Copies of this chain bind each other. A is one copy, B any other.
Amino acid sequence: MIKSLTKAVVLLSGGLDSSTVVAIAQDQGFEVYALSFSYGQRHTAELEAAKAVAKQFGLTQHVVVDIDLRRFGGSALTDDIEVPKGRDLDQMAGDIPITYVPARNTIFLSYALAWAEVLGAGHIFIGVNAIDYSGYPDCRPEFIEAFERMANLATRAGVEGETALRIETPLLQLSKAQIIRKGIALGVDYAQTNSCYDPLASGAPCNECDACLLRAQGFRKAGLSDPLISRYA
A106 interface neighbour in B66, B96, B118, B151, Cβ under 8 Å? B151
Q: Is the CB of B142 within 8 A of A153?
A: yes
Q: Is the CB of A107 within 8 A of B105?
A: no
Main secondary structure of the interface of A (DSSP, over half): helix
A156 interface neighbour in B71, B107, B137, B156, Cβ under 8 Å? B137
Within A38-57, the residues touching B (CB, 8 Å) are: none
Within A108-144, the residues touching B (CB, 8 Å) are: 110-111, 113-115, 117-118, 137-138, 140, 142-143
* CB neighbours of A154 from chain B (8 A): 103, 105-106, 137-138, 143, 146-147
Q: Is the CB of B150 within 8 A of A114?
A: no
| A65 adjacent to chain B (CB < 8 Å) | yes
A 10-39 binary contact with B (CB < 8 Å = 1; else 0): 000000000000000000000000000000
Q: Is the CB of B102 within 8 A of A106?
A: no
| A63 adjacent to chain B (CB < 8 Å) | yes
Q: Is the CB of A66 within 8 A of B63?
A: no
How far is B119's CA from A103's CA once the two chains are assembled, in angstroms? 13
Q: Is the CB of A103 within 8 A of B138?
A: no
* CB neighbours of A140 from chain B (8 A): 153, 158
* CB neighbours of A203 from chain B (8 A): none
A 48-90 binary contact with B (CB < 8 Å = 1; else 0): 0000000000000001011111011110000000000000000
* CB neighbours of A117 from chain B (8 A): 74, 102-103
Closest 9 CB pairs of A and B: A103-B114, A74-B118, A146-B150, A102-B117, A143-B153, A103-B113, A107-B110, A110-B110, A106-B110
CB pairs A–B below 8 angstroms (16 shown): A67-B67, A74-B114, A74-B118, A96-B156, A102-B113, A103-B114, A103-B155, A105-B154, A106-B151, A107-B111, A110-B110, A137-B159, A140-B153, A140-B158, A142-B153, A146-B146
